[in-house]
Structure 1
Amino acid sequence: MKAWLLQDFGLNNLQMAEVPTPVPQAGELLVKVGAVSLNFRDKAIVDGIYEPHMVPKPLIPVSDAAGVVVAVGAGVSRFKVGERVNSHLYSRWIDGPPGPNEPDYCFGSPLPGGLAEFMIIHEDSAVRAPDMMSDAEAATLPIAALTAWYALMDVGNLQPGQTVLVQGTGGVSIFAAQIALAHGARVIATSSSDANLARIKALGVTDGINYRTYPQWEQKVLELTDGKGVDITIDVAGGDGLNQSVAATKAAGVIAQVGFLTGQTTALKLMPLIFRQATIRGIAVAPRTSFDRMNPFLDKHNIKPVIEHVYAFEEAVQAYEHLSRGAFGKVVIQVAN
């Protein structure tokens, strides 16, 4: 089969090659990949800044895939040939709290990912892809949508009428806005682009804050919430901006730390955190059962992924370059037609 292989760190070391097509073992599915979507994690792995000691070389990258089952190993009962499935990042995290070694079993590193014509997914890890979505659309769900869903619904216990803050207009933030709005919440978004703020407002977001125009954007959030702050903040930036997230979140509110776009370390000011009595919760996607709950919600509310561009399989490097520049929503690679 054709596959993209990361031979070493750096995008120039991502190269297409011919490799043996994997054979499903007991309990496994062989999936003909229809499409994959890129997340910041995928870029960070290529750049060598995401747990580099765990990245095998060569590596078939990219965790998020959708495709059709074309063969099954012995004993498979959850899926059959011809059914469409999604990959799930944490291949052994099925339900409940995460175990201590879930990162050891992630697709796209250290396990082979979906940037290939075929991939192996254990039947316990696979999730039925939504019938209403194409492969390109379904491929956006495993990290971006599920992270937003888990942070809002499972961890944040979002209620109708509450307020959510999303940072930027990337995949997780767009999905968080869509899910929160469908659940009857108010959404405030930040971005460095007035054009992107206008686009996310078109989805139903009521307020947008340009953080270049207002560097102290947390003050604008407080103004918009009568000094209270938001109930849940989806923090994709990380870095020292976490202090602004604390200030923008209500007393006893939740900050879901899902990303590290501006840095993997922070100088956290403890007194505001203590006085706000806020919860900072690290979010590393979710268990598979949360994925199973999310898809019917997306279907019920007719939530469609926002995809900025779909690249051909041969254009994988261009897709990574697009992600590096930033995207409104998701960047997808179509592997098979």
Structure 2
Amino acid sequence: MDDFSFGLLTEQYFYSKSLRPATEWSYQKVVRSFEGFTSFNPTKIDHLMVLKWCHSVLNDKNCATRTWNNKVAHMRALFNFGIKQGLLPQAENPFNGAVVRPGTKKKKTLTQTQMDAMYRLMEQHLDAETGRGNSSMFNGRRNALLPAWFWLTVMDVFRYTAIRQNQLLHIRLSDINLEERWIDLNLEGAKNHREHRVPIVSSLYPSLEELVRKGGEAGMELGDQIFNVGWFDLVRKSKYPEVMNEYPLRAFFRRLSRECKFTVTPHRFRHTVATHMMKSPERNLYAVKKLLGHVSITSTLEYIDESVDSLRDILETELM
């Protein structure tokens, strides 16, 4: 057992599970992080070693408690598997009791001013791209914001459906029903491995209709990934002939954030929609739960964010 490595442990764990490639990658990333901290193999790990790693992650690397807890969850699952299968000699999982209680942070949302600014910027790129605006915006270098119409559609989907990045990447042409105005989100892209359906609102319909039309013109078939920039950008067609991964999305939001001078991410769109709707929880609680695909109502309740003004009104009414 002395030569039993983390590589062997993760390999056998993956064989026993049906995990998405992105999930396997996240496990491998956490394991590499732990291997960078200690040269001990899995059979030599005890709770004290885990606590020392915790101190290093939270204090030396200054990571957030949620980051640490994510590492613990991955490592605990690996060790539970190893101990149960008799691959590891530990009587108890050394990662038990290692979770750190995180502080409650306000959800990061986008203001209306920020929303207007990012759409204004993308409209400028669209005008320049189509020859209607300032062509000096193009310097001949590859631009992660192009084609602008495609990325505007991506923004619209995040803005009006509150879906996750991985869900967007798993939408096929056949998952979009323009006639009945809904999008099916399949279980491969779901965090909780559950399918659900989101509506297409009137503000989203035109850009989504154009995407479907251009996809058909490009030769896209019903089972093809529709949010694949390779279908609409000849420069990237060879790189993403069938499936686009998350890297173009990340590059787009990095460039957009840099040009807007504030952070824009798919999750901030999601938080913005949920926080806005949960200003009226008595009316929207279950609607938001369904929209976000939450299993537990507790997750949805986190989006209730009483403003100082509303708290003042309540105090004035109740205490005066």
Specify if TM > 0.5. Answer: no
Which one has a bigger Cα radius of gyration? Answer: 2
Give the helix-richer structure, 1 or 2: 2
Larger strand proportion, structure 1 or 2? 1
Q: TM-score, normalised by structure 1?
A: 0.27
**TM-score normalised per structure 2:** 0.28
